[in-house]
Structure 1
Amino acid sequence: MKLSIRASIDKIKTFSRVFVERPRFAMVISIVLTMAGILAITKLPVAQYPQLTPPQISVTYNYPGANAREVQNTIATPMEDEINGVDDMLYMSSDCTDDGNYQLTISFDIESDRDMDLVKVQNRMSQAEPKLPSEAKQLGGRVRAQSTDFLGFFSLGSPKGTRSRLELSNYAYGIIQPALLRVPGIGDATIYGPKLSIRVWLDPARMAAQGMNSEEVIQAISAQNIQASLGAVGGSPTEAHGGYTYSLLAKGRLMTAEEFNEIVVRRDGNGGIVKLKDIARTEIGEQNYMFNGLYNNRNAISIGLQQKPGANAIETMNAAQAVLDDLAKDFPEDMAIDLGYDATDYVRRCIREIVDTLVVTFVLVVLVCYLFLQDWRATLIPCLTIPVSLCSTFILMSVLGYSINMLTLFGLVLAIGVVVDDCIVVVERVQYLIETRGLNAKEATIQAMSDVTSAVIATTLVLLGIFVPVGFMSGITGRIYQQFSVTLSAAVCFSTVCALTLAPALCSLLLHEARPYRHGPFAWFNWCLEHFKGFFVSCARWLASRIFLALMLLLLVVFLTVQMFMTTSTSFLPEEDQRVIFCSL
């Protein structure tokens, strides 16, 4: 086993020599990795955290005129009896409202495939539909895969107060909602406002005088408010040849209250008829009066956006706002739309702060490297490996379906200080050989890689031994930190690749001469560093001669660490103030 490991390391040493002999080859590899990483960044979705919630499929139905109990008995019960127990299902929850709406949300195992979950739910729905009321079947059900959280809320209002909620809602349903549903990444656009409808107010006294009931009125309205296909005159089959074909058109569905008033409810044997206006009052109004929206104390309706699973939240929100800006150019007078809540605003600020931290960390690492290496050429080598390693990490993130979120970016922030370690080891060894043995850059690099390759690989394996196990944690905690672990481990691996390929190539090109004696601030820094090293060595020797005391100090540190760990409060995720309050009544 030891011989095989030694043989593998010898092959890697030979592998590094290839790039010393062909530095352009190493540069091309690094450039390709960097460009591929930049391309991956543009395709990765952006989110605050990794996908934590299990995939959810939403099923919705509407039963006009039914209350919550009727919806529960006629739609919820048969639908849930059929869907319950579908493969990979974790749990489900339903909501029945007094306006006849029914929504069932099915949660699946977090590892399940969303597309297959959607197909399985649709198959179960088709089995339950024959048991549903005819009114609900005519309107049809809707099944969608969507995110549970809202992406944002827009408010469509009337700044001068001349538009009613019904006008605003009707415009939103007819113009705005279809446009938003066509935006890539939008899973659903929910209108929180009344729907336009014809309301028929029956007069019980007149109905009793005519001997009618409400069922008779409903049947008459349903029979006469239809869109009929009448065919054509002169069409096939016909014996005439060369004639004309005339399509027959019917008036179709009724659109105004006056047209509904003329519906014939009953005919008697003497030719008398009873119209709807004789027993009822019709008007255009709201389907129900459960919605009452205000924005800045003016009539308004809300539009809630939910994104599709895996969509880029920021790009989706930008696209939705662009669509609404285009629609706003053609809005009727005294109608305006405002952004009331943008969930991506907090994500943008968090990502921006982490990116700023990333830049500051990069600058600090460069300064520290220059402070200790004290040569801009030597500093340039490890600094070039930082963007190559980080950009290459995005390639793996894209392949694994990860997102750019706070945890992956946090891993990259930590990685900046780690990815330069291996390259610094290579650079320091090459400089040492140039200064002490008088070798040229190419010879020193080949010798240095023979000396430090084992150490570089060993340090990488040690770091992976720390970070990789985090990705195998079970439960939702492991799901959260898996992306953090993989991102950091990938960056470390790519940094090792750079240390064995790019760093030797650059050392053979950039490091040509021994560093001159330093004056000024560098000389003062070197003097302080030498004295600190002497002090540290003295302390180490003193502790080495007192093993028992050293062990006692170690146990004390372990004890204090355990005590602090036990007394520190814990939480699933840090508490955050997004400056938004949601109230449900």
Structure 2
Amino acid sequence: MFLSDFSIKRPMAAIVIILALMCTGLLALNKLRVNERPDVELPVLVVNIPYPGASPETVEREIINRVEKSLQSITGVYQMNSTAKEGNAQIVIQFNFSKNMIEASDEVRNAIGAVRYKLPTEMREPVLQRADPNAQPIMQLALSSSTLSHAELSRLAEDDLADRFRAIDGVATVDVNGSLKRELSVLLRAEKLREYNVSVAEVVAALKNQNTTAPVGKVTGALDEKSIRLVGRIETPSEFQQVVVKRRGDEVIRLGQLASTTDGFAELSSFSMRNGHPNVGIAVTRSRDASTVTTANKVRDLVAEVNKTLPKGTKLEVTQDGGRDAENSLRNVTDALVFGAGLTVFVVYVFLNSWRSTLITALSLPTSVIAAFIAVWLCGFTLNFMTLLGLSLAIGVLIDDAIVVRENIVRQMELGLDRRTAASVGTKEIGLAVAATTFSIIAVFLPVAFMPGVAGEWFRPFALTVAASVMV
């Protein structure tokens, strides 16, 4: 066998190659993103089309039927499901895994745009979302205080803390839950509307038209040019009382004559509790190409930094840590992997009854396992429980081949051959059989890596890791 003869005749070159593979493998391992599960991207697009005030029957007739006909021209669609709800149409489109999702998003937008003129004018613009199972919060934080009010906590979370967490590298979105949203309520008095003969639509139009800032034009001089802007944005709640709703001759009817304004908070759409007390929750979601463990560590460091600057009696706590969970899961798999390798070496010693043979056989394990990380990194996989499961399975196969080769070399030495000759002859005798065993295992696992559908996406890291480990 070429490889065995090369290693026997040029041992220093073989050692250098092995060390180079191990060093490259360690560098690849250092660059691997660490996640609990494989990054499986489902080829699913969700289209939500708001149609305020419409019944489900109207939504189906006016929107879904027309949009579905246009979407049928898109290629690569595996399945399409539509749901008509009160004031909203939802279309879930599942594509084949070979479909480029960026192109799919553009095709869906173009298909909807082609029939936009047929859709109701009251309909709002469609919203496209990618269905990503990994887009779940990796960290849940709770902001509570014994000195600040709920409104002050809400402003602190919305205006300060959320922006600081969004600035972390690897963070995609930061959602604030249970916070109070400032809202200015205009409470119309029916008797005043009748008295001044003003409709609700006129009040709404007046608020829209007189609470705006817009460019008007430009004034060009001999040497300069200046822009003119209409500054009409209302800055304080008291200014709403002076909004002109209607004019009747010399009489001016203002909003303060028709309604009362209240500066308060909107109705809570979400509620956060911590130890039975209301607080403000912050949910941090990582970006798709970021590591769960690395991002969680950065968030944890920022939490410790923020707690040093918060007012007395106010604290920010981590209530759910996905980074710790991922680390614990991977640590359990790693411990099982190391324990299995140690137990394998012990079994080898029991049957060979030679520390020398056991040590030589065991040296094949770190070489193949560490070098396999090169293939994991090149394939773009993360270090997750599926890749570690593949390594644990490969250990048994690797040690099996090493035992067979080593035992045959020992047999040749017992027949009187020197070590170099025994290594060459013993490897040649069974080299073809060992190679056939290795390639048989690769032939079994490679098709698993190319299975279609979700199962193939999940098992691809596992299968390719096993194949790479055995091949090395």
Structure 1 residue 142 displacement after superposition = 6.8
Distance 1:337 1:75 in 2: 49
Structure 1 equivalent of residue 467 of structure 2? 489
| 1:389–1:144 distance in 2 versus 1, CA, 3 Å | same
| 1:201–1:335 distance in 2 versus 1, CA, 3 Å | farther
Structure 1 residue 227 displacement after superposition = 1.8
Distance 2:82 2:32 in 1: 32
Answering whether residue 189 of structure 2 is matched by residue 203 of structure 1, we say: yes
Answering whether residue 301 of structure 2 is matched by residue 313 of structure 1, we say: no
Structure 2 equivalent of residue 298 of structure 1? 277
For residue 54 of structure 1, give the secondary structure of its aligned residue in structure 2. Answer: coil
Give the 5 Å matches for 1:31-430.
Answer: 31-51=19-39, 54-57=42-45, 66=52, 73=59, 77=63, 81=67, 84-85=71-72, 86-89=74-77, 90-91=79-80, 106-124=93-111, 136=124, 143=129, 146-147=132-133, 150-152=136-138, 154-160=140-146, 162-164=148-150, 166-193=151-178, 194-229=180-215, 236=220, 238=221, 240-241=222-223, 251-270=231-250, 272-309=251-288, 311-331=290-310, 335-430=314-409
Q: Is the 8 A contact 1:155 1:300 kept in 2?
A: no
Distance 2:101 2:163 in 1: 24
Structure 1 residue 78 displacement after superposition = 6.6
Q: Is the 8 A contact 1:155 1:302 kept in 2?
A: yes
Distance 1:177 1:133 in 2: 36
Structure 1 residue 68 displacement after superposition = 7.9
Structure 1 residue 355 displacement after superposition = 0.5
State percent identity of aligned pairs: 27
Cα deviation digits, residues 45-67 of structure 1 (max 9, x gap): 4344435562344556888xx56
Distance 2:243 2:60 in 1: 30
Distance 1:40 1:330 in 2: 39
Distance 1:149 1:437 in 2: 65
Structure 1 residue 226 displacement after superposition = 1.0
| 1:246–1:450 distance in 2 versus 1, CA, 3 Å | closer
Distance 1:295 1:101 in 2: 34
Match of 1:460 among 431, 435, 438: 438
Distance 1:178 1:71 in 2: 42
Distance 2:377 2:164 in 1: 30
Cα deviation digits, residues 263-302 of structure 1 (max 9, x gap): 11122211x2222122112223334443333222222233
Q: Is the 8 A contact 1:159 1:336 kept in 2?
A: yes
Q: Is the 8 A contact 2:59 2:88 kept in 1?
A: no
Distance 1:57 1:342 in 2: 29
Q: Is the 8 A contact 2:303 2:317 kept in 1?
A: no
Distance 1:427 1:36 in 2: 27
For residue 426 of structure 2, give the secondary structure of its aligned residue in structure 1. Answer: helix
Q: Report the AA paired with residue 427 of structure 2.
A: M
Distance 1:332 1:250 in 2: 41
Structure 1 residue 438 displacement after superposition = 3.9
| 1:291–1:469 distance in 2 versus 1, CA, 3 Å | closer
Structure 1 residue 126 displacement after superposition = 5.1
Structure 1 residue 221 displacement after superposition = 1.0
Structure 1 residue 216 displacement after superposition = 0.9
Structure 1 residue 356 displacement after superposition = 0.6
Q: Is the 8 A contact 2:185 2:262 kept in 1?
A: yes
Between Structure 1 and Structure 2, which shows a larger proportion of strand residues?
2
Distance 1:328 1:80 in 2: 54
For residue 404 of structure 1, give the secondary structure of its aligned residue in structure 2. Answer: coil
Structure 1 residue 353 displacement after superposition = 0.7
Q: Is the 8 A contact 2:173 2:284 kept in 1?
A: yes
Equivalenced residues, count: 467
Structure 1 residue 415 displacement after superposition = 1.6
Structure 1 residue 217 displacement after superposition = 1.1
Superposed CA RMSD: 3.8
Computing the radius of gyration from Cα coordinates, the structure with the larger value is 1
For residue 326 of structure 2, give the secondary structure of its aligned residue in structure 1. Answer: helix
Q: Report the AA paired with residue 313 of structure 1.
A: T
For residue 158 of structure 1, give the secondary structure of its aligned residue in structure 2. Answer: strand
Distance 1:325 1:102 in 2: 44
For residue 245 of structure 2, give the secondary structure of its aligned residue in structure 1. Answer: strand
Cα deviation digits, residues 416-462 of structure 1 (max 9, x gap): 122122223332333333332142x3232222232221121122234
Structure 2 equivalent of residue 573 of structure 1? none
Distance 2:270 2:423 in 1: 75
For residue 281 of structure 1, give the secondary structure of its aligned residue in structure 2. Answer: strand
Q: Is the 8 A contact 1:183 1:319 kept in 2?
A: yes
Q: Report the AA paired with residue 244 of structure 2.
A: V
Q: Report the AA paired with residue 175 of structure 1.
A: D
Structure 2 equivalent of residue 582 of structure 1? none
Structure 1 residue 363 displacement after superposition = 1.8
Structure 1 residue 211 displacement after superposition = 1.0
| 1:27–1:126 distance in 2 versus 1, CA, 3 Å | farther
Structure 1 residue 247 displacement after superposition = 6.4
TM-score by length of 1: 0.68
